[in-house]
Amino acid sequence: MPIRVTTDLDTAPAPHPHPVTSPFAQRVRARTAILWPMQFALSDHLPELIRRTVFNLNFIEEHKSNGGPFEVTQSVNSCLAVIVHLTEQYLKEHEDERGKIDLAAEEASKCWPILRSSRPPEKEPGSWAEQVTCLRHGLAHGNIKFHGPSAGEITAIEIWNVPPSENKRTWGTSILVSGLSEMVRFIDCRFGASPSAGDPKCATVTDTQQPASNAATKSS
């Protein structure tokens, strides 16, 4: 007889411990209600996986210390999990939905960080879905570099895309550490099983916060 493997994702989800009170979560939910009503079914475990990833990220950020747990490592792992599953499961299965998130509008509303090429004149992605796909390739293939003012202190991460067919970098960007968690929470608000926590960690990212592409930073 067939053997069924049971995982923790098979259990009923626990209620989210935080209400939707942060300005960040309210902005994303408001834009979702206007621009993209949730009237479609997401692939199986994706929403719950995203919700639990954010739950773990919140916990580690609240308990971070020099000896661990390490919030930057968790932010990178969280981005990898939600972005890879989103692009490989949902965006590939729903091609008609790829253009429904307006990149410029989300940047202007401070719901999504402003990400620009760290090596102009690289061609910028033409849409949110294209930008997320570039981030997916960079994260999945380990094309990342940590930057910070001193050893052991990470303030920004560079992620770049090198398509196997071209064997050269086509686009890359520098992201503040706060931008990593912001991307995860944006995806949670759009695709997750429950909204992001209402907490001050949902910081916004503006042009002035974007790390300079030629800044003399030390790799950690």
Are the CB atoms for 86 and 182 separated by under 8 Å? no
Report the C-alpha gap between 23 and 86 in whole angstroms.
24
**How many residues does the structure list for the chain?**
220
Distance, in Å, from the CA atom of 98 to the CA atom of 176, rounded to the nearest integer, reads 25
* Rg over CA atoms, the chain: 17
Predicted confidence at residue 33, as pLDDT, reads: 52
Which position has the token pair 């503006």? 206
**What is the rounded distance in angstroms from the CA atom of residue 10 to the CA atom of residue 133?**
28
In angstroms, the CA 78 to CA 99 distance is: 24
Cα first-last separation, the chain: 51
Percent of the chain with pLDDT over 70: 66
The residue-averaged pLDDT of 102-128 equals 91
Cite the DSSP H helix spans in 86-176: 92-93, 103-108, 128-140
pLDDT at residue 3 is higher than 50: no
Token pair 């509303």 is found at: 109
pLDDT band at 117 (very low <50, low <70, confident <90, very high): very high
Per-residue pLDDT, averaged over 177-190, amounts to: 91
pLDDT of residue 9 exceeding 60: no
Which residue in 119, 151, 173, 160 sits closest to 219, CA to CA? 151
Place of tokens 């994303």: 28
Mean pLDDT for all residues in the chain? 75
What pLDDT score was predicted for residue 196?
Answer: 43
Inter-CA distances, 142 with 10, 125, 168, 190, Å: 30, 20, 14, 26
